[in-house]
Structure 1
Amino acid sequence: MSAGERAFKIVNYLLIIALCLSIILPFLNILALSFNPGKDAERGGIFFWPRIWSLENFEKVFQASNIGTAFAISVFRTFVGTIASVFLTAMAAYALKSKSLPGGKFFMMLIFFTMLFSGGIIPYYMLLKSIHLTNTIWVYIIPSLYSAWNLIIIRTFFQQIHPSLEESARIDGYNDFTIFMRIIMPLSRPVIAVIGLFNAVGHWNDWFTGAFYIREASLRPLSTLLQEMLMSAEAMRDTLSQAAGAKYEMLEKIQITGNSLKMATIIVVVAPIIIIYPFVQKYFAKGIMIGSMKE
């Protein structure tokens, strides 16, 4: 390599290292604060290692009486919603990839239109209520079955598969569904893994649906429950802080509701995704690149 190429390579490595540190160091700080007692964390000075190891923040998080039910609902909606969404979106993408589909370009234009404009929250709520989805567990799954962005990525990936594979399968007597299941889907594991990860993360982290479209506390997912618990704790702390004034001894009892509890909540929410991601990481870059380019 020439001197310029070596310098360019060094700069690239330095930028990559800086980017990695900008991601890793804040996460280590979150982890340290989550394992440090709230009263001690208020003193500051905790960066990447807890000053005092403690699980009291996580105990506070798991004290909620219905956290088991909320966790089960999150697992159910993530598992069922991800599988159903990926399968149905892939089926739609397989149909729309065909150049011989009547009105295919028109349908794609309509799908793309939904990415640019929406009806708003109030009309959306009225629609969900009119079809009796509000306050049911299916409000987490049915409205999110299709995503225009995911459909476009999968469709573009399917278009890269050589048509001769389908032609030979049809000569052997395969119908469209058999071709889709036995040829297209096995060859599309990278993009399926990526879209599956997108869906799973979206379902697991979604607190908005449970907060706005669900009235029954027993139907709220884990992310909504933790968000409500954190807001309630902070509201209580603000109220008691105003009432206590400068009396620190009264505030000592509620210091756990500060940053440490926030960080423990973040860890509880992101931990399952961190555990799952390494299993699909090898497909991630490949699926995105192939699904976003067309020759």
Structure 2
Amino acid sequence: MKATSSSVLTKSIITVLIVFLCISIILPFLHILALAFNDGQDATRGGVYIFPRVFSLDNFAEVFRQDELLNGLVISVFRTVTVTVLGVFLMSMAAYALTIKTLPGRGFITFFVFFTMLFSGGTVPYYLVLSELNLTHSIWVYIFPNLYSATNILLLRSSFVNLPTETIEAARIDGASEFRIFWNHVLPMSKPVLATVSLFTAVGQWNDWFSGSFYVRQRDLKPLATLLQEMLTRQTALSDLLQSQSGFTDYALLDQITITGQSLQMATIIVVILPIILMYPFIQKYFVQGITIGAIKG
């Protein structure tokens, strides 16, 4: 069947929009990459957009020479790995429990989980709860409050509901416990949604700067994202100060009076986002399937 002119026009418009969207996403990343690999003093002259003009690895060498950033990297890796592994496991157990029809109060529990997605207690009450639990100013403030997500629990539950019931019922008839069914049957059949939830959890933990900025005072407990955010804030404040005093922004002077400079900031950004970029290709084949599988049946 030949395609009509309207369908061809629609596909052409969609293709153009997708290409434009891809370019708008890729170009800023290439600009950051160019500045990260460009000589810092040369970058102050401007004109570095997509490719480095004076290639240099000094920015990355300086990043890894700073003990504060290296310590922040360790904190970020620890919280991301711990929360992802424990969180996905615990959320999967909760989601599977909500699929068991004989669970007392299953409907109310499901509604309660959904209810938390609509309303929040607020930042101040949340901080008071964390303080009463002695979690503030501790590395555990990154772990325990982040072991669950109502959105991910419901996503996992929707996926588990769509699993073949014959396999699960056969295991129950054979006398298998619910945990054994969960471990030996449910998890192996749910790799796409588990990979998707793991990606969501890992990205959220790796990019979270708010917790380290508001709930922790010790510099040695701040994750890399928080240190980067503070670095960018200092750079912007110094730039505004110089501009207000002299009527223009002297970026060369700005780089001389700060510890990092613009190029070092870009190198730190690359260090922050690189693990996520490297992880995504390994779970890409599961990603779309994991998102759409729960939409088949409620």
Q: Provide the TM-score with structure 2 as the length reference.
A: 0.90
1:2 aligns with 2:10: no
Contact 1:86 1:196 in 2 (8 A): yes
Structure 1 Cα separation of the partners of residues 116 and 18 of structure 2: 36
Secondary structure of the equivalent of 2:91?
Answer: helix
Structure 1 window deviating more from structure 2 (13-22 vs 249-258): it is: 249-258
Q: Is 1:253 paired with 2:256? A: yes
- Matches of 2:190 and 2:131, distance apart in 1: 37
* Structure 1 SS opposite 2:109: helix
8 Å Cα contact 2:158-2:294 kept in structure 1: yes
Give the whole-Å Cα distance in 2 for the aligned partners of 1:90 and 1:185.
8
Residue number among 70, 74, 77 corresponding to 1:75 in the alignment? 77
Are residues 237 and 16 of structure 1, via their aligned partners in 2, closer, same or farther at CA, if it must alter by over 3 Å? closer
Q: For residue 292 of structure 1, what is the aligned residue in structure 2?
A: 295
1:32 is the counterpart of 2:34:
yes
TM-fit CA distance, 1:236: 4.4
Aligned to 1:66, what secondary structure does the other structure show?
helix
Q: Spell out, residue by residue over 1:187-206, the C-alpha distance to the aligned partner (whole angstroms, 9 max, x if none).
A: 00000000000001111111
Q: Which moved more, 1:271-280 or 1:96-105?
A: 96-105
Alpha-carbon deviation of 1:167? 0.9
Query: CA 1:227–1:60 in structure 2 vs 1: closer, same or farther (change >3 Å)?
Result: farther
SS in 1 for 2:55: coil
Identify the range of structure 1 (258-267 vs 270-279) with the bigger mean alpha-carbon deviation.
Answer: 258-267
d(CA) in 1 for partners of 2:217 and 2:200? Answer: 27
The change in CA–CA distance for 1:175 and 1:246 in structure 2 (over 3 A counts) is closer
1:281 equivalent in alignment to 2:284: yes
Q: What is the aligned counterpart of 1:160 among 159, 162, 178?
A: 162
- TM-score under structure 1 normalisation? 0.90
What is the match of residue 145 of structure 1? 147
Against the structure 1 CA distance between its residues 272 and 160, is the aligned structure 2 distance closer, same or farther, given a 3 Å change threshold? same
Identity of paired residues, percent?
52
Q: Give the Å deviation of 1:276.
A: 0.7
Tell me how far apart the structure 2 counterparts of residues 68 and 252 of structure 1 sit (CA, whole Å): 21
Give the match's secondary structure for 1:30: helix
Q: Residues of 2 paired with 1:229 and 1:2: CA distance? A: 54
Compared CA separation, residues 67 and 262, structure 1 to 2 (3 A): closer
Gaps of 5+ in 2: none
Residue 243 of structure 1: CA displacement?
6.2
Deviations 1:197-223 (A, max 9, x none): 000111111111111111222211111
Read off the aligned partner of 1:110 and give its amino acid letter: F
SS in 2 for 1:215: coil
Report the equivalent of 2:16. 14
Instruction: Please list every run of 5 or more consecutive structure 1 residues that lacks an aligned counterpart in the other structure.
Output: none
- 1:87-236, aligned counterparts within 5 Å? 87-236=89-238
One-letter amino acid of the counterpart of residue 77, structure 2: V
Q: CA RMSD in A?
A: 2.4
Partner residue, 1:267:
270
- Given that 2:255 and 2:262 are in contact with CA atoms closer than 8 Å, whether structure 1 keeps it comes out as no
Q: In 2, Cα distance between the equivalents of 1:162 and 1:32?
A: 50
Paired residue type of 1:92: A
Cα distance in 2 for residues equivalent to 1:166 and 1:59: 54
Report if aligned partners of 2:242, 2:249 keep a CA contact under 8 Å in 1. Answer: no
Q: Distance in 2 between matches of 1:200 and 1:291?
A: 20
Does 142-151 or 244-253 show the bigger shift? 244-253
